[in-house]
Amino acid sequence: SGQARLFEEAGAPEGAYTNLFCSIEQTAKLIDDFRVRGVTLTGSERAGAAVGERAGRNLKKAVLELGGMTWRI
């Protein structure tokens, strides 16, 4: 993807950028993993509520975009 290419060109280490498309249930398992330090989401309010709750339970950073528009750094 274009974002992955930007990270690569900026000299970020391999794997610094990961884009996943998965269900709420799959996302919960990923957020629970100790190796995951934070999560960003562009999606529905339902998905945002689930991700925000799970991230909070695990004391992990979360950035949620629930307006239907993809944000970028």
Q: Nearest to residue 52, comparing CAs of 38, 37, 62?
A: 62
- How many whole angstroms separate alpha carbon 43 and alpha carbon 6? 23
What would the pLDDT profile of 20-71 be if each residue is shown by its tens digit? Answer: 888 878 989 999 999 999 998 888 888 899 999 999 999 999 999 887 666 5
pTM: 0.69
If one counts every other C-beta atom within 10 angstroms of the C-beta of residue 60, the result is 17
Q: In this predicted structure, what is the pLDDT of residue 22?
A: 85
DSSP secondary structure, the chain, as one string = -HHHHHHHHTTPPTTS-------HHHHHHHHHSTT--EEEEES-HHHHHHHHHHHHHTT-EEEEE-SS-----
